[in-house]
C-alpha cells in the first residue's frame, strides 16, 4: 500500500468517479488511474451484484493500473436487529462482500455494522462482537484474509463510535476499522482540529500498535450535520471540515493506507484536492 509520492497514503474515490466513461467498476479504475489517484472503493451499497468472473477481470485491471481496491458492503446491515432473519442476512451480506472483494484483491471491506435500537451500547457491542467473530471464523475457514472493517458512523443512533470499533478490532483478529473522520465530526460536533486528529491517531496506535497506523482505511468528505449527527455529504470546500489539519496529523504520525473520498457530487475533484494538499505539506 505504499506510495512514495504521498508517504504511504493513497488517495482515491468512494465509487466510480463522476467523470468516468461509464458507471462500470472497470471504467472507474481506468479513470482513477488516468487522474493519477491511487485507490478506489467498490460500492456494493445496493447489494453485491458482481460475479466472480467480473471480479477476476476487475482485479487484473486494478493490478495493471496500480490502483488499490477496497469495498463498501450493502447498507442493509444491522447485526443488532431484533429479527433473527435480518441478522442472518446482514452476516450474509458482509460475507458476500468479503468473498467478491477477495477475488479482486481488496485488503479491506467496510460497512455500517448496527443500530442500538432499544439496547444499551454495551449490550449492542456484545451482540455485534459475537456476530463479527462468526463472520471472521467463516471467512478464515475459507482461506479469505480480507480485513473486516466496520465504519465509524455519523449518527448517535448508530453503533460505531471510534472507541467501540477500536475495542472490537483489538479483541477480534481479522477485524480492523474504517475511520470516517467526517462521520466522527458530524457525530460529535467536534473532532475538527489538528490536536484532536493527532489524539485520535495516538489512540489508534495505543490500542492497535503501529500496525493500526500502517494499514489505515479512511473515509473523508465534506459533511453537513445537525443535532442528530450526519445529514448529508458535501464537497470539502462547502463544509467546515478542516481537512488540511487532518492531513497534517496523518503525515506527522506517518500514517499509511487508503484515504477514500466520498464527497458529493464530484468525488474525484476532492480526492485530487486531498492528494495535492497532502503533497504540498511535504
Query: All domains of the chain, ordered by start, with CATH?
Result: 4-281 (3.20.20.150)
ω into residue 265 within 30 of 0, thus cis? yes
| pLDDT the model gives residue 125 | 98
- pLDDT reading at 36 higher than 50: yes
> The dihedral of CA 266, 60, 169, 95: what is its sign?
positive
Segment 105-120 shows an average pLDDT of 98
pLDDT > 90 fraction of the chain, expressed in percent and rounded = 97
Q: Is 246 helix (H, G, I), strand (E, B) or coil?
A: helix
pLDDT tens digits for range 50-77? 999 999 999 999 999 999 999 999 999 9
Report yes or no: 215 and 1 within 8 Å, Cβ to Cβ.
yes
**CB contact at 8 A, 8 and 279:** no
Percentage of the chain beyond pLDDT 70 is: 98
Query: Coil, strand or helix: which one is 149?
Result: strand
Closest CA to 215 of 249, 181, 168, 169: 169
The pTM for the full model equals: 0.96
Express each pLDDT in 184-206 by its tens digit. Answer: 999 999 999 999 999 999 999 99
Instruction: Look at residue 3 and tell me whether its pLDDT is greater than 80.
Output: no
Cell of 205: 496506535
pLDDT attached to residue 68: 98
Span 131-173, pLDDT tens digits: 999 999 999 999 999 999 999 999 999 999 999 999 999 999 9
Task: Say if CB 110 and CB 260 are below 8 A apart.
Answer: no
Q: Could you give the CA distance from residue 275 to residue 9 in angstroms, rounded to a whole number? A: 9
Amino acid at each position: 500500500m505504499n506510495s512514495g509520492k504521498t508517504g504511504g497514503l493513497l488517495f482515491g474515490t468512494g465509487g466510480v468517479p463522476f467523470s468516468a466513461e461509464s458507471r462500470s467498476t472497470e471504467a472507474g479504475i481506468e479513470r482513477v488511474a488516468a487522474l493519477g489517484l491511487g485507490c478506489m472503493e467498490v460500492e456494493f451499497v445496493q447489494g453485491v451484484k458482481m460475479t466472480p468472473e467480473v471480479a477476476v477481470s476487475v482485479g487484473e485491471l486494478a493490478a495493471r493500473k496500480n490502483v488499490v481496491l477496497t469495498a463498501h458492503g450493502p447498507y442493509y446491515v444491522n447485526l443488532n436487529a431484533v429479527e433473527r432473519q435480518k441478522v442472518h442476512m446482514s452476516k450474509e451480506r458482509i460475507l458476500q462482500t468479503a468473498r467478491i472483494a477477495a477475488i479482486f484483491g481488496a485488503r479491506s471491506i467496510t460497512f455500517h455494522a448496527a443500530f442500538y435500537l432499544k439496547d444499551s451500547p454495551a449490550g449492542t457491542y456484545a451482540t455485534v462482537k459475537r456476530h463479527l467473530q462468526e463472520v471472521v471464523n467463516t471467512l478464515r475457514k475459507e482461506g479469505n484474509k480480507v480485513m473486516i472493517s466496520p465504519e465509524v458512523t455519523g449518527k448517535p443512533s448508530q453503533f460505531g463510535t471510534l472507541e467501540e470499533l477500536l475495542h472490537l478490532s483489538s479483541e477480534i483478529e481479522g477485524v480492523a476499522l474504517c475511520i470516517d473522520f467526517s462521520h466522527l465530526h458530524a457525530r460529535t460536533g467536534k473532532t475538527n482540529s489538528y490536536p484532536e486528529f493527532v489524539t485520535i491517531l495516538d489512540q489508534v496506535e495505543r490500542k492497535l500498535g503501529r500496525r493500526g497506523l500502517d494499514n489505515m482505511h479512511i473515509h473523508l468528505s465534506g459533511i453537513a450535520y445537525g443535532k442528530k449527527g450526519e445529514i448529508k455529504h458535501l464537497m470539502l470546500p462547502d463544509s467546515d471540515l478542516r481537512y488540511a489539519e487532518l492531513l497534517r496529523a496523518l503525515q506527522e504520525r506517518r500514517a499509511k493506507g487508503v484515504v477514500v473520498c466520498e464527497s458529493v457530487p464530484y468525488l474525484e475533484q476532492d480526492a485530487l484536492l486531498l492528494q495535492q494538499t497532502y503533497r504540498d505539506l511535504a
